[in-house]
Chain A
Amino acid sequence: MKYGFLILTISALLISRVAQAEPLLNASYDVARDFYRQFNPAFTAYWKQKTGTDIIVQQSHGGSSKQARAVIDGLDADVLTTNNPLDIDAVAAAGLVGKDWARRFAHHASPSWSTILFLVRKGNPKHIHDWNDLTRADVRVIMPNPKTSGNGRYSYLAAWQYALTLPGGDDATARHFVAALLHNVPVFDTGGRGATTTFVQRGVGDVLLTFENELFLIRKEFGDQGFEIVAPSISIRADNPVAVVDKVATEKGNTTLARAYLEYHYSHTGQELLAANGLRPADETVLAEHAAEFPKLRLFSIDDWPKTYAKHFADGGVLDQLMTTEAAGS
């Protein structure tokens, strides 16, 4: 009897894959949950109206790189929505996504983007206004580990870029500047959400470096009474690229649906929903309509991700060197 049940269950599970229409699976990063909770019903309704078919969109969330890894290892995601291009490159290198993925959708396949801002405690008691304040001896900085988190990587790169733009700035001064900043970080959480918890709930540190959309969430969850947002003089443009996982979508017969799903991110509804969730819409006109929430910033982008990664974040790269000196010095 025990076996009967077992065999039944297992065969039911195997058969169920074939019997029902395949739902669309979106492997996405952690903080995009709220957005997709609103976007998916909107898309389902749109698709129903357009084609008359009912579809189910399933979500899987995790760290952006972890999700890419899962797709490489066999997670049946039709689409991959990430917070940095390196993750899609990794899936492309494994042969599951075409190498030209960035040209398949508008704006380098990034329907939205975000940037790194500062969150300080009410009244800004430490007078933190720009990147150079973060290297002061009396300031404790909270940011996630750049080695494990896209969020941390953007903060690191933005600090590097700031140092380069200073008079006489070059790689040597930037190195010195970023080393001083890292020295002020008492704890490196592995992800953005962990850093938020450290700063907001545990009350550690004077300033939190994180994505604008994460700050949007903090404001929503914890009210803005205890905190203030500070926009530095320069920050980084963090694209949120998307791609159809060709191999999986083809296997599941979902190619058209998957494409339409990603296209819908660029529709007016999609762009508005992105803006409503603290993500800067790629569409300039929609962004301009939300100028109050998204103040104009001086921004720079990373053009060559593989090169940047190799220089800073690969094993033995600049980050490792700085962290080792840091550990040896303390």
Chain B
Amino acid sequence: MNLSTIDARPTPSRRHPTATDERRWTQLVLIAIAVLFLMGFLLLPLIAVFDEALRHGWTLYREAITSPDALAAIRLTLLTAGIAVPMNLLFGVAAAWAITKFTFPGKALLVSLIDLPFSVSPVVAGLSFILIFGRHGWFGPWLFDHDIRIVFAMPGIVIATVFVTFPFIARELIPLMQEQGTDHEQAALTLGASGWQTFWRVTLPNIKWGLLYGVLLCTARAMGEFGAVSVVSGHIRGETNTMPLHVEILYNEYAFSAAFAVASLLAVFALVTLGLKTYLEWRHGDELAATRRH
């Protein structure tokens, strides 16, 4: 998944039997399996979403996604992603930088901690925030005395989203930066560059593709997160419902077309993200290949 995959350039020397020398029918069977799998598990559900969304025509579709509750959900989702992604961007770069360019005690622990959100169920994550910020939680009495709300309000939703999408950028950068090593930075420092200059002029250009990929994945997940957000949201209509929560509500209300209309919009957001990534890869293919070889 990440950009630092194994270098697949063919060896020009002696001819060894390689994977690409397999007989033709084997190739065909493998391709068929891959395509069928993709169709069945990825494309079909996606088509079903759009089909159901448009079953009762465009008017209903438009009404579903422009109802005040839907608009509020869309706004909240975008705002949440807009706050959570920059925070994780900052943290991800800092963490990856610290882990790959320095040695310090507790480094292994930090690496494991970054992976924590992957291994903890989002529901448990959400509940733990209630234990911390809820009325009877650790900080609850103080927060409620000062009329500050974290859970069942926007800040809680942002925190839950940050937690769940925490590893995406760091995890994308660490292997890449590890592979690149510290040679370039050391060269820059020897030549008299300051720390900042080294970061902006040397490190950042080297990692920008990995970073972009991480940001896109992080954004997609931030917009789609359900479990953790559902626990801390409080489900107040028009106020603390994100798009995935709104979809569930509509579905439970038997408003199937409207549910799938909002779901399809969410899918469109994800597809735009994916399209953006593909476009950038295509547009800057050469540069990308160059970073990969490092």
Contact = CB atoms under 8 A, between A and B. Distances in A.
Interface of A: 2, 6, 9-10, 13-14, 17-18, 25, 30, 33-34, 58-62, 70, 72-76, 94, 193, 217, 221, 251
Interface string B136-171: 110010001001110111110000000000000000
Main secondary structure of the interface of B (DSSP, over half): loop
A94 B79 CA distance: 34
Contacts of A17: 147, 149
Nearest to B252: A193
Interface stretch (B25-33, B100-108, B234-242): B234-242
Contacts of A73: 130, 134-137, 151-152
Contacts of A75: 152, 234
B147 A58 contact: no
Chain A interface helix/strand/loop/mixed = helix
B226 to A, nearest CB: 14
Interface string B226-260: 00000000111111100000000100111000000
12 contacts: A9-B79, A30-B252, A33-B253, A59-B237, A60-B234, A61-B235, A61-B237, A72-B135, A73-B130, A74-B140, A75-B234, A76-B149
Contacts of A251: 147
Task: Identify which of B87, B147, B254 gathers the most chain A CB atoms within 10 Å of its CB.
Answer: B254
A25 B130 contact: no
A30 to B, nearest CB: 7
Given A6-B83, A6-B86, A30-B252, A74 B152 contact: yes
Given A73-B130, A73-B135, A25 B236 contact: yes
A72 B136 CA distance: 8
A60 B140 CA distance: 21
A44 B152 CA distance: 24
Given A30-B252, A74-B149, A217-B254, 4 more contacts: A17-B149, A61-B235, A61-B237, A75-B234
B147 A62 contact: no
Contacts of B79: 9
Contact of B135 (A25, A61, A74): A74
Interface residues of B, number: 32
Which residue, A6, A59, A60, A94, has most C-beta atoms of chain B within 10 A?
Answer: A60
Contacts of A94: 136
Contact of A9 (B83, B234, B252): B83
A278 B75 CA distance: 34
B235 A62 contact: yes
Contacts of B240: 60
Contacts of B234: 60, 70, 75
A195 to B, nearest CB: 12
A30 B148 CA distance: 28
Nearest to A58: B236
Contact of B237 (A2, A14, A60): A60
